[in-house]
Amino acid sequence: MRRPDGPNYTRRPQPKPKDGERAPSGRDNVLKIIPLGGNEETGGRNCSVLQYGRELLVIDLGLQWPEDDMPGVDYIIPDVSFLRGKEKDIRGLVITHGHMDHTGGVPHLVPTLGNPPIYGSDLTCAMIQKKVEDVAPDKKLRLNTVKSRDRIKLGVFRLEFFSLSHSIPGSLGVVIETPAGRVVHTGDFKLDLHAHVSNRTDLDAVKRIGAQGVLCLMCDSTNAYAPGHQPSEEEIDRNIQGMFTQTPGRIIIATFSSLLSRVQQILSAAEKYNRKVLVEGFSMRTNIEIGKQLGYIRVKPTTIIPWEEAKKLPPNRYLVLCTGAQGEDNAVLMRIANHEHKYLRIERGDLVVFSSSVIPGNERSISRLKDGLLREGATIIDTKVLDIHAGGHAKQEDIADFIRLIRPKYFMPIEGNYTSLLENKKIAMRTGIPEKNTLIADNGQVVEFQNGQGYVTNVRHPIEYVFVDGLGIGDVNALVLRDRKQLAGDGMIIVVAQINSRTGKHGKIDVISRGLTHMKEQGRFISGMVAVVKKSLADKEPRMKPQDKDLRDKIRRELEKFVFHKTHRQPMVVPIIIEA
């Protein structure tokens, strides 16, 4: 099951073979690249595997947030079935940066994969450690910190790391040197030569890597559809400071809690213009503390204050820094707008700033949030009004510049839906890479390299959604989601019928409905359902026993027909037969 589409959660058809697909070589001395996630979705469950012989290297292990047709699911993690039975061959796990779509699967999956060593920047490892403490405090991971230009050897793989700009400090690209050639994996990146030193692209290292020769570039495709360059953080900083000088009232800024470079800009501007900062949101407070410990956040001890102090200040003397820029129901900004926050309310004259890009799928909830804020009298600034956010993903010209620096023989777009992968392919071709050297793979599809030649094979390892719901991992499947959607859409009917085990005659019959209807003639409707159940029991075949599944199915079918005729709805019907 790739995703549950439609009311019956039908399977999506298997992708059609692409032009140029080949049968695998069947040899051991080839390099294989298998994306286990991230190549059919935007911003979700990123995970790639490199294999040479029996040895394996895993890059990223992220989560994907659920879609609207996945009720009750907390998030989705990569399907690592391909790695089962190969745990001893996993030489290591590289995490390119600390965002959840690259780290979220680590606490759940790493302990089941033989607990391989994990490599990432200091911030990435600290954020993983915090997440593990929250999710699986009894698990101890083998975390190893690396920095730009560090080199390590993991079995047959020789790795070198290099810093790249992104919307979180400590983001690293990685060069993987294999017997088949060098592969460069970007993770998420953009090119920003004016970013803070902790988040700047190591351009000299990138040029040197390109000059040494690169067999394949695995490149972020998230923003491949967007023309031009990403704005520089230097420009964003000027606009943020201008906002402080022009706002006479209170400022409420919502941004991603992991966007520590933006958080630092806001804290520095607050200190410069004599405003205190009230930090709201568990993840925001947690990440600021981690950033302070590692030196990514520098702030005076008196700048961040609690509500008890902030409420004594006039509105123009403090700002609120919070989560919720994506319109999440339980995040701080939505709770403020809905009057559900413990002490914060929107006041007329407040300036609310959305310093974030809109994640696809969140448009409706963000629009609803903005409506609520405007009704309360707030003024809103977002990226449509002023450049107060620079996305973390390279746009078309940034990608083209990076390709020219790396000069790969083959180009493999990753991290995006199929539309984005195709757009990234076009960018590569525009820089001079031949179309036959651009390799697009579906999740689970194997790409091979041997003797300097690369190609997409026709081998596809099965990839399914692995749902995390509460403490359950993988115990929710398409059937469970189908039932949940039916319950949410049409409600439920429970029938409890007593049958005498000796005579076979029915006794009391109770019908309970939830979420189905609230009609004035509810009693008559219930009586009609009881009559249908009685008739089904009376018409049952003599050999049917009270606990026969066929008898319950007969009651279910007859009730479904009756209810649909009366209401044109299809609730879940659960017959329960009790022997008296």
SS3 376: coil
- Whether residue 166 lies in the annotated active site: no
Q: Report d(CA 197, CA 147) in Å as an integer.
A: 13
Closest CA to 80 of 127, 43, 46, 29: 46
Whether the Cβ atoms of residue 387 and residue 232 lie closer than 8 Å to each other: no
Q: CA dihedral defined by 161, 162, 163, 164, rounded to 10 degrees?
A: -110
Q: Is 442 a catalytic residue?
A: no
Q: In what order do the strands lie in the sheet with 31-37?
A: 143-145, 118-120, 90-94, 55-59, 47-52, 31-37, 445-450, 453-460
Amino acid type, 332: V
Dist. CA 71–CA 90, nearest whole Å: 34
φ/ψ region of 20 (left if φ > 0, alpha if ψ in -120 to 50, else beta) reads: left
Alpha carbons 550 and 535: distance in angstroms, whole number: 15
Determine how many CB atoms are found less than 10 A away from the CB of residue 275. 22
User: DSSP code of 514?
Assistant: E
* CA distances from residue 295 to 96, 261, 290 in whole angstroms, order as listed: 19, 12, 9
Sheet with strand 318-322: strands edge to edge: 276-280, 318-322, 251-255, 351-355, 379-381
Q: CA of 89: how far to CAs of 51, 61, 80, 155, 180, in Å?
A: 9, 17, 14, 9, 18
Residue 388: what residue type? I
SS3 273: coil
Q: Which residue among the candidates 102, 166, 389, 393 is catalytic per the annotation?
A: 393
Which of 220, 237, 398, 469 is labelled catalytic? Answer: 220
Catalytic center residues: 220, 393
